[in-house]
Structure 1
Amino acid sequence: MGPARQRPNARAATLEDVARLAGVSIATASKALNGRAHVSAATRTIVLEAAERLSYSPNALAQGLLAGRTGIVGLLTSDLEGRLSIPILMGAEDAFGAGRTSVLLCDARGDSIREVHHLQTLLSRRVDGLIVVGARPDPRPSIGRNLPVPVVYAYAPSDDPADLSLVSDNVSAGRMAIEHLVQVGRRRIAHISGDATYGAAQDRATGALAELSARSLDLAGGRVFFGSWSEAWGRSATRMLLAQAPEVDAVFAGSDQIARGVIDALHEAGLDVPGDVAVIGFDNWEIFTTSSRPPLSSIDMNLETLGRVAAERLSAAVDGAAGSGVEALPCRLVPRESTTSA
């Protein structure tokens, strides 16, 4: 015999209760109950049975949102080039499901006044929720607590701990890059990165230094070479590195652009990549990784996954299961010939 139905005077069941009884995440329970895609028939049946056993009905907030849904979610970005916002948009659309929810993209172009205008426009369209994508991976001002719809921040976290933010785990990514270089036999590893005011640059360096320390290895060159996010900086920093540490056998670059400059400078010095010096970049930006000679190993921030999870968290928030705080999602290694011989 299954669990007894709730008594009339019992506490009203929540979406979290349904998810717990069904043995699934809150986001999955939300999607199953609302007929969204990417939920198997078996899982949907389990969730619906759990909801029936608990006599679950959405809370007042969720009921109001469900009754007035437009099927439109706003994605508010400050990413001028779309390199960040487009993959996040694609991941969000995949999670929402074709034909069920449309994502309306607005680019504030880094202008706070334009951002306020776009926010007002999206709210006037009665969007069901908002995903806010920053231009750089550092805390950004919250767009406010007293909005009529839930908000999830992606890539750049909100400076308000009451908001829900999803970011890439740059510290673990830095460790991942060093771990890969050690696994391919490198021991004299340098780190050339971009603007030191970027939190991501500091986090990647923190992870790299921690992994080197854990393996009792010193940083080649004695310091992290911070500069700009450019090929030109990669070239000039590599020349300085070779003058200070000619024995270097690997470079972890803070971006793919920097890595391209690193490879150019190594070739100019008559060094083979990866024979003499292995090079790994960051971002997995195809325009740089695949056209590099040799093709460039890189750390991918999994932006589509970031968008997909942001959409799942937003769906759960629309259904009354709002979250808060900062959630760091893992990056992934994409090895190519710049660290491993073909």
Structure 2
Amino acid sequence: MSVPSDVRPAKKLSEAHRGRRTATLSDVAHRAGVSVSTASKAINGKTDVSEQTRRNVLRAAEELDFSPNVLARSLISGRTGTVGLITHDLEGRFSIPMLMGAEDAFGMNKVSVLLCDARGDGIREQHHLSVLLERRVDGLIIVGARPDPRPSLGRNLPVPVVYAYAPSTDPDDLSVISDNVGAGRLAVEHLLTCGRRRIGIISGDPGYGASIDRVRGAEEALRAAGLAISGDSAVFGSWTEEWGRGATQALMAQHPDTDAILCGNDQIGRGAIDALRELGRRVPDDVAVMGHDNWKILATGSRPPLTSVDMNLEELGRRAALRLSEAMDGRVTAGTEKVACRVVVRGSTVG
């Protein structure tokens, strides 16, 4: 049986392609009339190459259809184009937005992020650390399970490290965290703008630094306005809707003139709204309710939808990635950098 004529040219082309040697960096350098080192610098965007030389090298690379593979690029640049992100956030509520922000920032430089979940286990964290270093990642981002200081990985690692969400206990490390004191301040300022003056505060576990910090920021904003907390002080409990319901019932029984409740997280906020409904109090007409974290599945599913303070976790991830990129380029900084939060207004504070 004869072969259709329109297939034969493709066969010849394939044979020609198989016989063609893949161009190397040395071939590009020879074509451009420069050293291999100069060709490498030009292709990798280094600044110590003239613009004319760069154009010559890139034109030669295009003519030779030169495309360095990942291994070759890592040998040339001394980098693998990967960073590791180790998280202790079991649910992914906090680490996933941060990962998205980090990938956005690294994507501009074509850097890939390898995600590992240590599940709150220090031994597992050390295992992931060893594996990532064996893969020769260029840097590490460590995400804590809760926004409280955590032990440093030490100063002897071969790559730079940025701690995100949970700061390192070592002031010489670089940490990027949400501004929880600022979050409490923003929340009260929003409630004051809505005309509320008798604001109660129901927070979560006092063992969490964020719980204390958010209350501290709220108290600062109230003092600046010449006001005090309804009930004289914040109450602390757990991060649950059940606690929110019970604490709200107690607050309204003792201080029925309360016209706003600031909650330590969105779960407590949902519980507060449920309790107010059972008490016949309208939200927000009679009592405004506000949460923290902007956990959308809770905040938007509430009735009415819950106003909440967003911790800007994607921005936190972007900022951590940018600081890590700077450190990988030799611009190492230390200390704790705080990322500002923002208020997401919904129906529980504005009718």
TM-score interval, smaller chain = 0.7 to 0.9
Tell me which amino acid in the other structure corresponds to 1:260.
R
Q: CA RMSD in A?
A: 2.0
Map 1:103-182; keep pairs closer than 5 Å.
103-182=113-192
What is the deviation of 1:34?
7.2
Match of 1:79 in 2: 89
Match of 1:18 in 2: none
Q: Which runs of 5+ in 1 are unaligned?
A: 1-32, 36-46, 53-63
What SS does the corresponding residue of 1:232 show, helix, strand or coil? Answer: helix
Match of 2:27 in 1: none
Match of 2:198 in 1: 188
Match of 2:219 in 1: 209
Partners of 1:48 and 1:292 in 2: CA distance: 54
Q: Select 2:286's aligned residue among 276, 290, 294.
A: 276
Deviations 1:112-141 (A, max 9, x none): 111110110111110000000000000001
Tell me which amino acid in the other structure corresponds to 1:291.
G
TM-score normalised per structure 1: 0.81
Match of 2:318 in 1: 308
- In the alignment, is the contact (CA less than 8 A) between 1:191 and 1:219 conserved in 2? yes
What is the deviation of 1:66?
7.7
Match of 1:245 in 2: 255
Tell me which amino acid in the other structure corresponds to 2:240.
S
Tell me which amino acid in the other structure corresponds to 1:237.
A
User: Are 2:325 and 1:321 aligned?
Assistant: no
TM-score normalised per structure 2: 0.79
What SS does the corresponding residue of 2:158 show, helix, strand or coil? Answer: coil
Q: Select 2:210's aligned residue among 195, 200, 203.
A: 200
Partners of 1:120 and 1:191 in 2: CA distance: 44
Match of 2:63 in 1: none
Partners of 1:334 and 1:48 in 2: CA distance: 43
What SS does the corresponding residue of 1:279 show, helix, strand or coil? Answer: strand
Larger Rg: 2
- In the alignment, is the contact (CA less than 8 A) between 1:221 and 1:245 conserved in 2? yes
What is the deviation of 1:243?
1.5
Task: State the structure with bigger RCO (CA 8 A, min sep 6), 1 or 2.
Answer: 1
Partners of 1:66 and 1:252 in 2: CA distance: 55
Tell me which amino acid in the other structure corresponds to 1:189.
I
Tell me which amino acid in the other structure corresponds to 1:301.
M
What SS does the corresponding residue of 2:270 show, helix, strand or coil? Answer: helix
Match of 1:291 in 2: 301
Match of 1:55 in 2: none
What SS does the corresponding residue of 2:297 show, helix, strand or coil? Answer: helix
Partners of 2:300 and 2:335 in 1: CA distance: 36
Deviations 1:21-50 (A, max 9, x none): xxxxxxxxxxxx976xxxxxxxxxxx969x
Partners of 2:200 and 2:44 in 1: CA distance: 51
Q: How many residues align?
A: 286
- Specify whether residues 34 and 231 from structure 1 end up closer, same or farther in structure 2 by C-alpha distance, changes over 3 A only: farther
Q: Which runs of 5+ in 2 are unaligned?
A: 1-42, 52-73
- In the alignment, is the contact (CA less than 8 A) between 1:140 and 1:157 conserved in 2? yes
What is the deviation of 1:67?
2.6
Identity fraction in percent: 65
- In the alignment, is the contact (CA less than 8 A) between 1:65 and 1:318 conserved in 2? no
- Specify whether residues 148 and 263 from structure 1 end up closer, same or farther in structure 2 by C-alpha distance, changes over 3 A only: same
Tell me which amino acid in the other structure corresponds to 1:149.
V
User: Are 2:238 and 1:231 aligned?
Assistant: no
Match of 2:274 in 1: 264
What SS does the corresponding residue of 1:276 show, helix, strand or coil? Answer: coil
What is the deviation of 1:68?
1.9
- In the alignment, is the contact (CA less than 8 A) between 1:165 and 1:327 conserved in 2? yes
Match of 1:336 in 2: 346
Tell me which amino acid in the other structure corresponds to 1:111.
D
